[in-house]
Amino acid sequence: EVQLVESGGGLVKPGGSLRLSCAASGFSFSSYGMNWVRQAPGKGLEWVSSISRSAGDRYYADSVKGRFTISRDNARNSLSLHMDSLRADDTAVYYCAKAGAEAAAGLRFWYYDLWGRGTLVTVSS
């Protein structure tokens, strides 16, 4: 079955760290760019970070740059997001999302054709 399954969410204090993971199955993981998108409670979607197929290129939203690190392990079909210096406004459901095949043609063609169910991160004292 083609799917993405996130894990690692939970309650963390402001200033703390957390590592999210995403397990991919049912497709050739190493052939696709991967992404993290988040959704604060009752709010819209926000792009967080993306990584190219080989992990040679990584991209971050300004809101997380310098605090979050995206990585992938193609041998284990796994995507990660390491989050440091967490703030209350990082509270959200974090979704792992696969880039569509056309993403290989350039950044302007990136879109997300497969999503996981998400994992909730709550930053609160």
Hey, which residues does 59 pair with through a beta bridge?
50
> Judged by CB under 8 A, does residue 45 bind another protein?
yes
CB 48 within 8 A of CB 37: yes
> Judged by CB under 8 A, does residue 2 bind another protein?
no
In the region spanning residues 61 to 120, those forming contacts with another protein, defined by CB under 8 A, are 61-62, 95, 100, 102, 107-118
Minimal distance, residue 93 CB to another protein, in Å: 8
Under the rule (CB under 8 A), what is the footprint of another protein? 37, 44-47, 50, 59, 61-62, 95, 100, 102, 107-118
